[in-house]
């Protein structure tokens, strides 16, 4: 698996688009990185940039961005609502895939050392890259901000990890580290009072607030949300106060829980939450989990499409209050996905039929089998959702919601296999097109053909497994689902059976080109068993459907 890390440098300029563009141009001058998002804020006078790529390319791009920022940003003239201490205020590295946190830390050290040595900028390490527990927390390092650092940097305990112990009036200092994925998230209040916004922030943040106990001693009263840092501020650009939060571990406190805790606190204090704002990017799961959460609060099925879950999340948390919220620009998985790998599923129904009917050999039977399977489980999922919302069945909504969620997962898998099957066929064609002039080239070509052929067997085998798994949902809907939709469950069974048999035909035809006979025998036994069970399941479901229709 390719190693991918994300880098989210925060630059202390959010108003001058020319300066921002020069920095992002420097970042994009590095081959092998993808600039995912540039999010400037006028009131904070700060731009959050998100890039991703292999580690070496990412730290080179980050270095070039930090270098350019130090050249064109003058911190002595900077002001803004957000705490800051340098032209590049903070630059975290985040492991995304194929790389651990332990493997990411040395890259943070390498970048920090280079910035300190080549740019003469004081650099502090933070989070996982920092060994000293007293200096791990960003807010502790940044305390005193730019104005206070001329004195702070001279204190022995605040000697920089890299670079000079002289504070640069123009570039300031920079904090570089390695951390888990962080969501920067602001909740909007119907007030202009920073003090009242802070009261909500203190209610929800993990560190809470200082209070006096019955003895008059100062103690910390924890907030309601672990792994959440928060402050209140006023954003002149929007004319509202916000609770500005960093969610440092969304598996502990998800975005929707932080939002609802702000809602509860604001209500108790006579205020209303009017919406919220995402700064930078978030993982897809954060949005889909939020959508499920708000649907379940309404006792409604959460087994709806990914797009619908996102729409519910956006509307429930008011993510579009301050401006349009475009998931394709804000969800990290959407920005990383390769659209060429989803060419077929992004077609209209007519275009897909036209492409299938053309003289091109792909998409062929394997892709059609996968789509049949997706349609079959989609019908069962529809019945589950209709049953969940059926009048008089209110006490059963959760039961059908569970079935619908299972259906959505299988649907997503089968839809992806539509393109995957065609890509597998193309892989075989590419392998046959390799050069064969020398013995070495012939051997390499043969290996590539065998590997591609094995993949072309495994993909329809995945279709068989997924389509067969859908029978459990289809049968449950035929037996217990909304009786007015029982015929839909029947059609779903017909689709699932055809998907299994059609995919098995592709397994068999591709197996003829594989030399590994032991593997072929194993696959054939599995395939024959799945096909036989599918024929039985379809017959049983059709019998149930016909009995109910009578």
Beta-carbon count within 10 A of 395 CB: 8
In whole angstroms, give the CA distance from residue 27 to residue 329. Answer: 19
The residue with tokens 């006028």 is 42
DSSP assignment letter at 120: -
| Helix/strand/coil percent split, the chain, to 5 | 55, 15, 30
Spot the catalytic one: 39, 82, 161, 419.
82
CA 248 → CA 95, 170, 223, 243, distances in Å? 14, 30, 15, 15
Q: Can you spell out the DSSP letters for 462-502?
A: HHHHHHHHHHHHHHHHHHHS-GGGHHHHHHHHHHHHHHHHH
Residue 267 designated active-site: no
- Chain centroid, CA 335 distance in Å: 9
Q: Are strands 123-127 and 88-97 parallel, antiparallel or unpaired?
A: unpaired
In whole angstroms, give the CA distance from residue 241 to residue 232. Answer: 7
Q: Do the Cβ atoms of 84 and 46 come closer than 8 Å?
A: yes
Spot the catalytic one: 89, 289, 421, 488.
421
Q: Do the Cβ atoms of 230 and 314 come closer than 8 Å?
A: no
Beta-carbon count within 10 A of 285 CB: 13
Q: Is residue 274 classed exposed, middle or buried when 0-12, 13-18 and 19+ CB atoms within 10 A define those classes?
A: middle
Q: Do the Cβ atoms of 54 and 4 come closer than 8 Å?
A: yes
In whole angstroms, give the CA distance from residue 184 to residue 550. Answer: 58
In whole angstroms, give the CA distance from residue 265 to residue 225. Answer: 12
Q: Do the Cβ atoms of 244 and 230 come closer than 8 Å?
A: yes
- Phi and psi at residue 24, to the nearest 5°: -70, -30
Cα angle value 57/61/62 (rounded, 5°): 115
In whole angstroms, give the CA distance from residue 197 to residue 460. Answer: 55
Q: Do the Cβ atoms of 204 and 197 come closer than 8 Å?
A: no
As annotated, the active-site residues are 82, 421
């Amino acid at each position: 698996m390719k190693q991918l890390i994300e880098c989210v440098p925060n630059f202390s300029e959010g108003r001058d688009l020319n300066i921002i563009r020069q920095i992002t141009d420097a970042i994009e001058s590095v081959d092998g990185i993808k600039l995912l998002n540039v999010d400037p804020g006028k009131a904070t006078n700060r731009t959050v940039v998100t890039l991703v790529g292999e580690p070496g390319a990412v730290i080179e791009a980050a270095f070039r961005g930090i270098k350019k920022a130090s050249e064109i940003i003058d911190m002595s003239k900077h002001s803004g609502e957000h705490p800051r201490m340098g032209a590049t205020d903070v630059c975290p590295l985040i492991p995304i895939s194929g790389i651990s946190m332990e493997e990411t830390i040395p890259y943070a050290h390498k970048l920090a050392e280079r910035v300190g040595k080549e740019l003469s900028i004081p650099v502090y390490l933070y989070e996982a890259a920092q060994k000293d527990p007293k200096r791990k927390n960003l807010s502790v390092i940044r305390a005193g901000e730019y104005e206070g650092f001329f004195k702070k940097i001279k204190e022995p305990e605040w000697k920089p990890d890299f670079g000079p112990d002289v504070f640069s009036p123009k570039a300031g200092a920079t904090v570089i580290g390695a951390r888990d994925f962080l969501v920067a998230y602001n909740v909007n209040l119907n007030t202009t009072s920073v003090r009242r916004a802070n009261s909500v922030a203190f209610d929800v943040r993990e560190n809470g607030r200082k209070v006096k106990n019955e003895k008059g001693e100062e103690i910390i009263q924890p907030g309601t949300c672990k792994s959440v840092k928060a402050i209140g501020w006023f954003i002149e650009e929007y004319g509202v106060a916000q609770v500005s939060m960093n969610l440092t571990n969304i598996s502990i406190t998800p975005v929707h829980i932080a939002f609802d805790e702000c809602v509860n606190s604001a209500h108790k204090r006579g205020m209303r939450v009017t919406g919220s704002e995402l700064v930078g990017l978030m993982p897809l799961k954060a949005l889909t989990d939020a959508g499920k959460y708000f649907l379940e609060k309404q006792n409604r099925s959460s087994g709806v499409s990914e797009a619908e879950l996102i729409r519910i999340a956006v509307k429930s948390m008011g993510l579009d209050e301050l401006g349009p919220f475009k998931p394709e620009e804000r969800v990290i998985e959407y920005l990383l996905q390769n659209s060429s790998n989803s060419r077929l599923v992004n077609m209209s129904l007519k275009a897909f039929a036209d492409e299938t009917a053309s003289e091109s050999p792909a998409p062929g039977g394997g892709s059609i089998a996968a789509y049949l399977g997706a349609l079959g489980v989609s019908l069962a999922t529809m019945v589950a959702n209709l049953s969940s919302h059926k009048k008089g069945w209110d006490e059963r909504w959760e039961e059908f919601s569970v079935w619908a969620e299972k259906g959505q997962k299988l649907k997503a898998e089968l839809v992806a296999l539509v393109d995957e099957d065609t890509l597998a066929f193309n892989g075989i064609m590419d392998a046959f097109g390799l050069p064969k002039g020398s013995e070495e080239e012939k051997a390499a070509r043969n290996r590539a053909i065998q590997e591609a052929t094995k993949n072309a067997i495994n993909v329809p085998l995945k279709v068989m497994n997924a389509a067969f798994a859908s029978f459990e949902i289809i049968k449950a809907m035929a037996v217990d689902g909304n009786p007015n939709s029982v015929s839909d469950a029947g059609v779903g069974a017909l689709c699932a059976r055809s998907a299994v048999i059609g995919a098995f035909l592709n397994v068999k035809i591709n197996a003829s080109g594989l030399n590994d006979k032991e593997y072929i025998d194993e696959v054939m036994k599995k395939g024959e068993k799945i096909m036989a069970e599918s024929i039985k399941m379809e017959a049983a479901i059709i019998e149930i459907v016909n009995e109910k229709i009578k």
